[in-house]
Structure 1
Amino acid sequence: MAEQLHLSELAARPYTVNCDLQLAEIFKSDEVLIGNTITNVGFYGPQSRQLRLKPAHLHLNSSIESFNYDEEKLTNLEMETAGIYAMSSLLGHRAVSLNAILANRATGEFSKNPKSIVEKLITFTLQQIVDN
């Protein structure tokens, strides 16, 4: 994965952590895109955003967009999920991540009503828990 994403030799090496597959089954729906989240260590530079300094990996988003391993693609970039999955596993808990996608970095599209999207995800999530 590090080679395909063109990561610097100095960068931390990628690792994978799975969600709880039994929990994931609860949330299968036509409304849900099942995908793979890549977690990075920070919000600005590590996610290829730029304020005053250039990020170390300027082309991270295009590398993520073109990533493909055994027909698996990366569908989301954020900074929490892998840590939650790792801690969950270490502590003997189960975890799954549902993400309200508010921005599409590949197309430059941003949600016009992010609050509505987040509320819809919360309602969906709670309803699936109640029903299952």
Structure 2
Amino acid sequence: MIPDSELILNGDGSIYHLNLKPDDLADTVIFVGDPDRVSIVSQHFDTLDVKKGKREFITHTGTLRGKRISVISTGIGTDNIDIVINEIDALANIDFTTKALKPELKFLDIIRIGTSGSIQGNIAIGTILASEYAIGFDALMQYYIKPYTDIERRMQEEISLQFPKLSFSPYVGKASERLMKKIAMELPHGITMTAPGFYGPQGRSVRSHNVYPDLIKTANHFSIDGRQITNLEMETAGIYALANMFGHHAISINAILASRVNEQFCENPQEIIDRAIRWVLDRI
């Protein structure tokens, strides 16, 4: 039995942060960062059965072409991803009456539709890019035991060599091969770098001095087995690593809104985001 202090439920039996009960969650879950983007996705659904929210976590569950789907806003950063993935895993795999693990585990499909900036000059603004791997430049996975594949281990080692001044240990996660084939076969693939902040941690300097002033340049030159770091954002590595740890299937689809090497930002962000949403929903 899981203690009440470890799995906290609200008075109505819903899970603490997401404010959801097990039946509210579909087996296919779309993550978006912005709470306002939830309704932009769910407006495409044929039916809408659940609309719940608490803090930055808004959930809509409905059906599209007969398939039940939930879309959840995660907010920004892997700290929020830690909350959301742990709570959707509990919704899927814990009996809330007994607070015991269910005898048969359920493995969810998790699809992130997010915004990102490219760090390679040949990735144009407006590109829809799928993250094959993600490298976390944050501390989330220092608190979890996760199995790593040989290539993930080599990526960690290569990152440590190419970023020798790092005071922490980056971690690596991989996209679901099944979801890559289903959703992203026709998209460019890459390695996504996940940062724990938007300014200094992503190499930006507005009115500050950065410990890693060459972050973008160094990431731009990273290479392993012909793969490069292609883009930079704030959630994907946490999603992949935790999904890998729990056995869920995850993929991150990135709407490229900025070019960090060309120092440009798009003029039509919503149009690019809408295109990424339609891409996923047409293939889900």
TM-score by length of 2: 0.42
For 2:177 and 2:164, how far apart are their aligned partners in 1?
29
Matched with 1:17 is: 173
Shift of 1:114: 0.5
For 2:219 and 2:160, how far apart are their aligned partners in 1?
11
Matched with 2:67 is: none
Which has a greater percent of strand? 2
Q: Deviations over 1:17-58 (max 9, x none)?
A: 10111111112354x211110112211111011133212100
**Higher gyration radius (CA):** 2
Give structure 1 stretches of 5+ with no counterpart.
Answer: none
Structure ranking higher on relative contact order (CA contacts 8 Å, 6+ apart): 1
Q: 2:172·2:241 contact (CA, 8 Å) conserved in 1?
A: no
How many residues align? The count is 126
Pairing 1:82-93 to 2, within 5 Å after superposition: 82-93=237-248
For 2:196 and 2:269, how far apart are their aligned partners in 1?
24
1:112 equivalent to 2:270? Answer no
Give structure 2 stretches of 5+ with no counterpart.
Answer: 1-158
1:73 equivalent to 2:73? Answer no
Runs of 4+ in 1 over 3 A off after TM superposition: none
Matched with 2:151 is: none
Identity level (%): 37
Q: 1:13 to 1:120 in 2, by over 3 A?
A: same
Local SS of the residue matching 1:57 = coil
For 2:185 and 2:176, how far apart are their aligned partners in 1?
17
For 2:179 and 2:185, how far apart are their aligned partners in 1?
13
